Amino acid sequence: MLLTVIVPVYNVERYLARCVESILHQNYSKLDVILIDDGSTDGSGEICDRYAKMDERVKVIHCKNSGVVSSRVKGLECASGEVVTFVDSDDWIEPDMYSCMMDVYRRHNPDIVSSGLIIEDETGRVIQQEFDLYDKGMYLAKQIREVIVKEMMWSEDYGKRRITSSVCNKIFKLEMLKWVTSDIDVNLTIGEDAAITYPYIARSRSIFIINRGWYHYVKRRFSMISAHSLKSFEAILKFKNYMKKIFVYDEKSDDIAWQLQQYVNVFLLEVINGVYEVEMEKIRFVFPYELIPAGSNIVLYGMGQVGTSYWHCLHGGEYINQVICVDKNYNRFTNEQMTIYDPAVIYEKDYDYIVIAVENEDWVKEIRENLLKNNICEKKIVWKKPKRII
């Protein structure tokens, strides 16, 4: 069974040979490889042509620069395989990736096979591995609608997406993918993978998840994805509007709208960090400014995710005069930026408010009752249900 591999190529002469070699040396040989030279101005186009002469499975398309989405669509138009996948031209894959994934496809015939990612830096050091946060196996239409789609872009419990957005660690049915991408916005420059993967899954009748990774995603320090500017905010809005249009008639559109906003927030944090050099990734919950007057002295009670986020909201600013951090597990924390005390210090310090920085309402109740038993004024105890910003 023929598998088409589509590789958009743009100014990657340093990495391209490794990428193409890793595809051509797959244990699964029934491949055709389409290299889309997207107007490269370095030697990438010549490298593509050289491989086309060396291996009859390789086809090259030279075109004017129009972006990765446009390149992928061009590749789909020329694909011959029953199934199709993608590889980014600065990444590489392990030799048995397609033999393993195609074996699953032959045995189960799902609309999509999804595997994991191995994320590494330019030296080859593995930074992390990422997998779909579902058990391995086959999921059919009802499970896709009730389980997968419900949290594919974002899960509140996990604090991240449950299905990897990448199109490069997946195998798709060609004709179905053509249909899903028939009206895709080729001008997308952020969320290009998500704009294909999630609409495709939402329209799938079956998905097979493999909790193993063969695809090596190389995080280049100066790659386009990290070169954010003020235009990136416009790109995020374009992606969001496209996805809203795609899912507007979906029966789970409310769930998807919430997921999409959380997914978009991740992009926003990356761009804010890149443009303004603010470490927004450290802030998951926003401090309840509206409940605490400016210039107050406060105690932050609880220094887990919520408390740490609140501290980062306040650190270096002038809104709060003094912050005292306490946690019953204070001796387990090692943080050079902040000093965390035993809660007993509350009875020795002067402050205006105690802000309980905890999500679990049972814990909040326990903390509040303990403070009241120790004669802490109830008006000084403040808690608001923490709201995740991503």
Taking the mean position of all CA atoms in its chain, how far away is CA 292?
Answer: 34
CB atoms near residue 226 (< 10 Å): 12
In sequence order, the 6+-apart residues with CB closer than 8 A to the CB of 142 are: none
Residue 276 bridge partners (DSSP): none
Task: Please give the pLDDT value at position 276.
Answer: 58
Here the tokens at position 165 are 């957005």
**Angle ∠(90,91,97) on CA atoms, nearest 5:** 155
Which part of the chain is CATH 3.90.550.10? 3-224
Specify the DSSP class assigned to residue 155: B
Distance CA 390, CA 384 (A): 17
Task: Please give the pLDDT value at position 225.
Answer: 47
Which part of the chain is CATH 3.40.50.720? 289-382
Task: Please give the pLDDT value at position 79.
Answer: 97
- Model confidence at 200: pLDDT above 90: yes
Strands (DSSP E) found in the chain:
3-9, 31-38, 58-63, 83-86, 92-93, 112-121, 126-130, 137-140, 170-173, 206-219, 297-301, 322-326, 340-341, 353-356, 381-382
**Fold classified for 289-382:** Rossmann fold (3.40.50)
Cα R_g (the chain), whole angstroms: 25
Distance CA 232, CA 100 (A): 37
Here the tokens at position 367 are 């903390």
Q: What is the pLDDT of residues 325-370, one digit of tens each?
A: 999 988 877 666 789 999 999 999 899 999 999 999 999 999 999 9
Domain 3-224 = CATH 3.90.550.10: yes
Here the tokens at position 353 are 């408010």
Task: Please give the pLDDT value at position 224.
Answer: 44
Mean pLDDT across 250-257: 73
Mean pLDDT across 268-297: 77
Residue 31 bridge partners (DSSP): 3
Supply the mean pLDDT for the chain. Answer: 91
H or E element in which residue 75 lies: helix 68-78
* Stated pTM of the model: 0.75
pLDDT grade for 267, boundaries at 50, 70 and 90:
confident
Q: What is the pLDDT of residues 219-241, one digit of tens each?
A: 876 554 456 777 888 899 999 99
Cβ–Cβ < 8 Å for 35, 21: no
In sequence order, the 6+-apart residues with CB closer than 8 A to the CB of 279 are: 273, 312
Q: Residue 93: exposed, middle, or buried by beta-carbon count in 10 A (0-12, 13-18, 19+)? A: buried
Q: What is the DSSP string of 329-354?
A: TGGG---SS--EE-GGGGGTS--SEE
Q: What is the pLDDT of residues 130-166, one digit of tens each?
A: 999 999 999 999 999 999 999 999 988 787 899 999 9
Q: What is the DSSP string of 355-367?
A: EE--S-HHHHHHH
Q: What is the DSSP string of 137-202?
A: EEEEHHHIIIIIHHHSS-BTTTTB-SS---STTEEEEHHHHHHHTTT--TT--SSTTHHHHHHHHH
Specify the DSSP class assigned to residue 223: S
Which of helix, strand or coil describes residue 236?
helix
- Model confidence at 125: pLDDT above 50: yes
Note the maximum CA span of the chain: 83
